[in-house]
Amino acid sequence: MMNGTFLIVAMLLCVMALAFVVYPLLREPRCETGHSRRAINLKVHRDRVRELDQDLATGTLTQVQYDTALADLERELLDSGAFEPDANEAPAGEVRGPRRMAGIAAFASVALLPFMAVGIYLGVGYADEVFATQLPPGEVASMPEPPPVTEEAMQRQFEQLSQQLQGRLAQNPDDLEGWILLGRTLTFLDDLAAAERAFREAMVHGGDRDPNLLTRYADVLAERQGSLEGEPRALIERALAIDPDHAQGLWMAGSLAFEEADFEAARRHWEHLLGVLPDDSPEADIIRGNLSQVALPAAEG
């Protein structure tokens, strides 16, 4: 009697569970609305990169930690298919096939799953052996720590990213985010000439409104020409016009003024930057040291 009652209850539970499976299979698919998957992935990526930039500027991350995290983000973005065009809506003839397969799957689930569940139960019983691998109470499985990423491994990873990005940009040369990623990757690889070209392409495709890109591009140009004069100066000024509290822009503006012996302007930019940075960050200590150097020529003058 007890076994019969149990089987009836089990069958009812199977039917209830099947209702949650069959309903999505049989209902008409809704038209997708809102942002595309590609746009969402790109927006999330930009937000996470912006957080990394802020953490690097405030001293929360070291340069090595930043590079590792940035490589992971770029790999995730590539793997997500964000540089692949979104699939258009399937033609009507192609929709009937999946709908028919969904109906067959729903019928098969209703017809077979309850009997399979009963058969497995009768064959296995309480199945104590299945749970024999569980840990004793109070013990927690420990996950092995991943080995540290070596500089050689990171170099290979960025080289692979560069090759993938160049291949995808050859197919879609209007992709702003792709050019920015390529420029950052090439900067890490110390190929500054190619990084300059990538950032210039990004500027052409709308990146001139992004203060992060403007300062990155200015930094690459200054590294190549050995000075912040000329085009780097214009890029820095444009970045600060967009975001007056941009940490990298303030740092570079103060450095440019210091190069020109305009110590009052350097002091002004670095004091502004000191108000942006956390007081206990390593970068704040560096800025305080720079301000003390600026104060000496001003006092002598």
What does the buried/exposed string (b/e) look like for 251-283 if buried means 16 or more CB atoms within 10 Å of the residue's CB? bbbbbbbbeeeebebbbbbbebbbebbeeeeeb
**pLDDT, tens digit, for every residue of 276-293?**
988 888 888 889 988 988
Give the range of the structural domain holding residue 223, as residue numbers without chain letter.
210-301
pLDDT of residue 72: 73
Residue pair 215/246 in contact by the 8 Å Cβ criterion? yes
The answer to which of 100-104, 153-157, 165-169, 221-225 has the lowest mean pLDDT is 100-104
Tell me, what's the pLDDT at 174?
92
Asked if residue 156 is part of any domain, the answer here is no
Q: Does 18 share its domain with 117?
A: yes
- 276 inside domain: yes
Among 4-18, 126-140, 177-191, the range scoring the smallest mean pLDDT is 126-140
* Entry pTM: 0.57
Indicate whether 217 and 113 sit together in one domain.
no
Cβ partners under 8 Å of residue 61, min gap 6: 52, 55, 69
CATH number at residue 287: 1.25.40.10
Rounded Cα gap, residues 250 and 244, in angstroms: 8
Average pLDDT, integer, range 19-43: 60
For 108-157, the pLDDT digits (tens) are: 555 566 666 656 555 555 444 444 455 555 555 555 566 666 788 888 88
Per-residue pLDDT, 213: 94
Residue 146 lies in a domain: no
Same-domain pairing of 6 and 119: yes
Closest CA to 58 of 286, 290, 283: 283
Q: Is 136 part of any domain?
A: no
Q: Please tell me which residue, 154 or 40, carries the higher pLDDT value.
A: 154
116-130 tens-digit pLDDT: 665 655 555 544 444
Q: Could you give the percent of the chain with pLDDT greater than 90?
A: 34
- Does pLDDT of 80 surpass 70? no
pLDDT at 2: 44
pLDDT surpasses 80 at 230 = yes
- Provide mean pLDDT across the span 223-238: 94
**Any domain includes 236:** yes
Q: Is residue 142 part of a domain?
A: no
Q: Give the pLDDT confidence score for residue 38 in this predicted structure.
A: 66
pLDDT tens across 83-114, in order?
555 544 444 444 455 555 655 655 555 556 66
Domains: count for the chain: 2
